[in-house]
Amino acid sequence: MSTNIEGKVVVITGGSSGLGESTARHLAELGATVVMGARRKDRLDAIVKDITAKGGKALAVTVDVTKREQVDALIQAALKAYGKVDVLVNNAGIMPIARLAALKVDEWDKMIDINIKGVLYGIAAALNVKEFYKVAIPADSIARAIAYAIEQPSDVEIDEIVVRPTVQEF
């Protein structure tokens, strides 16, 4: 069965475990080429080995998303290996749990560096690859995206969905 995922090059930060790993494995099974970035290269290499053993395409790149040059290198590695980047999944993130009164300011700083700066570095690196706003999104595409969010199983909650055109004229 052919899907719109087949043949896409998908870059995933935080790809060595959890949501990033599961997303990489699932998309690879659906025919995407996955480029996974994370700090734990040994873990990434094991996942790539498993994906490729099953006939998928995957690449591992060591990256710390708090370092802009490393995020740029992740996108460049995808471009060098596959010639394009279709999707960036800015997945790397942390959520330390502590009462605000505990004043764990160092944890707050780390969370901001990873969850905010890391995401922005990913966007900045990917925007160099592609012009995103050249053609408006058709209304039926928006309707399908909303339906996708609603139809997820009861154990999955989608609080936000950001839908952007891949191209749009100004």
The upper half-sphere exposure of residue 140, i.e. CA atoms within 13 Å in the direction of its Cβ, equals 0
For the chain, percent of residues with pLDDT exceeding 70: 88
Q: Which domain holds residue 95?
A: 9-130
Q: Flag whether 61 is in a domain.
A: yes
Average pLDDT for residues 51-60, to the nearest whole number? 98
> What pLDDT score does 168 carry?
44
Note whether 146 and 111 are same-domain residues. Answer: no
Give the tens place of pLDDT for each residue, 119-158: 989 988 987 675 544 456 777 887 788 788 878 888 888 8
Give the C-alpha separation, 72 to 69, whole Å. Answer: 5
Residue 2's pLDDT is 62
User: In this model, does residue 170 exceed pLDDT 50?
Assistant: no
* Structural domain includes residue 2: no
Whole-model pTM?
Answer: 0.76
In this structure, are 16 and 87 located in the same domain?
A: yes
Are 125 and 52 in the same domain? yes
User: Can you say whether the dihedral through the CA atoms of 158, 32, 80, 39 is positive or negative?
Assistant: positive
